[in-house]
Amino acid sequence: MSNLDSKLPELMRQATEDLEPESVDLVERSVAQGTRLRQRRSVLAGTAAGVAVLATVGVVVGTVQHFDGRADGGPMVAAPPTISTPAASTTPTVQTPPPSKAGGPTLATLKSLVQGPGRTLSLPETWGGAQDGFFGAGLVVDDGKGGSRIQVLLERHQGPASCAGEPGCKKRPDGSTIRSSSLIPEYSDDRQQEFGIVYNYVEITRKDGRQISATSYNGVSEKGTKHTRAVPILTVAQLTKLADDQAWKFPAKVTK
């Protein structure tokens, strides 16, 4: 058994030979998830939960220029936020995300737009901030028929808005663009049967580049919990109205 290390590469190669994803739409789902990622709560995107991960992992400084050599301080991909990158440092350091400074107003606006008679609001949360270049907020709205998580994310892109040939994107008369989807299953495997989460989604980019995306789920969270109602509380049309509201305050920083 002493030569396990020399045999391991071949063992791994043989074990994975011919393995292919069973989900034929894996790439499509990845693209769909990626395009709405900033709108969705991600504990690895510089949130408080991300800090908890850092504290647990105790990640040591690494230097991977191609990977996280970011100069603009914008939102980071899942893995990179866990590593800070002073090139010559040998001292373990942890880069903590900047505190959220604008989640409050975003959440307050969200609350004001979704509240109504017979509705209760719970589980509020915010993420992002001015330094991140995006403001995120979410909460659960219950109209007596079950809780529905609603999330928004506000960013500012370089204008003017453009669909750039993206399928499913439409240009509106006011120069803004809109992308939307309804009753999208959260999972592509048998967990969809188990949890039954679906969501409605709208992303509007105003003519000047201000972008807001809004999602409503038919459960209190996007993953890991069973759905609480048949359909999300807000339809695509209602999400569109919410996203078009002029009360939203967008970050000043342009996201590249």
Partner 1 sequence: MKGITEFEEFARARVGPLYRTAWLLCGDRHHAEDLVQDTLANMLKVWGRIDTPEAYARTALVRTFVSQRRRRSWSERPTADLPEQVQASGDPDLRIALARALGELLPLDRAVLVLRYFEDRSVEQVALDLGKKPSAITTRTARALERLRAVLGDDAIHLIAL
| Residues contributing to the site for partner 1 (CB under 8 A) | 1, 3-5, 7-23, 26-27, 29-31, 33-35, 37-38, 43-44, 49, 52-53, 56-57, 59-64, 66-67, 70, 74-80, 82-83, 164-166, 188-191, 223-224, 256
Q: Which residue number, 113 or 154, has a Cβ lying nearer to partner 1?
A: 154
Q: Which is nearer to partner 1, 136 or 238 (CB)?
A: 136
Min dist CB 173 to partner 1, Å, is 25
DSSP the chain: -TTHHHHHHHHHHHHHTT---S-TTHHHHHHHHHHTGGGS--TTSSSHHHHHHHHHHTPPP---HHHH--SS-----SSGGG----TT--S----PPPPPSSHHHHHHHHHHHH--TT-EEEEEEEEEETTTTEEEEEEEEE-SS-EEEEEEEEEEBSSS---TT-TTEEE-TTS-EEEEEEEEES-SSTHHHHH--EEEEEEEE-TTSEEEEEEEESSSSSSSS--SSSS-SS-HHHHHHHHH-TT----SSPB-
Instruction: Quote the least distance from Cβ 98 to partner 1, whole Å.
Output: 18
Q: Which is nearer to partner 1, 164 or 252 (CB)?
A: 164
The residue (of 105 and 209) whose beta carbon lies closer to partner 1 is 209
The least distance separating partner 1 from the CB of residue 37, rounded to whole angstroms, comes to: 5
